[in-house]
């Protein structure tokens, strides 16, 4: 298996698509979270969903607890797929990884058509969060606070025991991440925020504007940290609108 095959899932291959959208999951998340997005956008946009190690079909692999290393390996896996315009969509931890992947691609002369940064405060903001230092019960309490996982799943001890190592690794990566001072990209940024998100205030999400030399927009939705799931029927067409029009101009 190549690095690309290991890291990237194409649920709906779309060879005629003029643009590809790389989707990066949240902490503890997996590529399959973006299956509905892939189904809805195909065949106009081909979704490349990233599968981090330590979960699902990569369960036997150790997690990567450094955001820079994660971004570097994702960027390397994407390189054979950069034969057409590419955009990035990341939720929560995935937004930070999308930003760092975009920076790496731009160093190679490839400017993404857009970064969608969802449910995450800007890299230039900081909160001293230490969930990764908590015991198992503390991490599970954090998940319940965010309401990103069905309570029935959290009560399944077998599933939880398999998921906790990846969760802890992801939290360690994102909580120890520090952006380089003045870090920016040339791609436009669309930031998405839930108006009751306990982990990313509207002002903190607005601060993504500091990280692009191109256009910026902020879209807000009712809800908490996982507003994305609740408002998928509104958000997916917004993604398509930004990408299909851009690809037509390429």
Count CA within 13 A, CB hemisphere, residue 93: 27
Active site residues: 92
Question: How wide is the angle at C-alpha 217 spanned by C-alphas 84 and 232, nearest 5°?
Answer: 75
Cis peptide before 43 (omega within 30 of 0): yes
**Token pair in block for residue 53:** 């190690």
**CA triplet 173, 45, 75: central angle to 5 degrees?**
30
Q: Sign of the CA dihedral 194, 198, 200, 204?
A: positive
Buried b (16+ CB within 10 A) or exposed e, 131-148: bbeeeeeebbebbeebeb
Residues 9 and 107: their CA atoms lie apart, in Å, by 25
């Amino acid at each position: 298996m190549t690095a690309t095959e290991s890291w990237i899932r194409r649920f709906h291959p779309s060879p005629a698509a003029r643009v590809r959208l790389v989707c990066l999951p949240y902490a503890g998340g997996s590529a399959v979270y973006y299956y509905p997005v892939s189904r809805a956008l195909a065949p106009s946009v081909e979704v490349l969903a990233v599968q981090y190690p330590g979960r699902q079909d990569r369960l036997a692999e150790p997690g990567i607890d450094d955001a820079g290393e994660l971004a570097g390996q994702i960027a390397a896996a994407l390189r054979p797929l950069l034969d057409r315009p590419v955009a990035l969509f990341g939720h929560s931890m995935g937004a930070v990884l999308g930003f760092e992947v975009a920076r790496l691609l731009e160093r190679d002369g490839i400017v993404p058509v857009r970064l969608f940064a969802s449910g995450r405060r800007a890299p230039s903001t900081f909160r001293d969060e230490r969930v990764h230092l908590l015991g198992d019960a503390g991490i599970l309490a954090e998940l319940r606070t965010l309401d990103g996982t069905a309570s029935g799943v959290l009560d399944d001890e077998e599933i939880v025991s398999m998921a906790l190592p990846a969760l802890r690794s992801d939290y360690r990566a994102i909580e120890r991440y520090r952006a380089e001072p003045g870090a920016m990209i040339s791609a436009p940024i669309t930031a998405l925020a839930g108006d009751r998100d306990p982990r990313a205030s509207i002002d903190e999400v607005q601060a993504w504007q500091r990280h692009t030399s191109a256009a910026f927009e902020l879209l807000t939705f009712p809800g908490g940290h996982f507003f994305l799931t609740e408002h998928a029927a509104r958000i997916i067409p917004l993604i398509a609108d930004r990408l299909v029009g851009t690809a037509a101009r390429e």
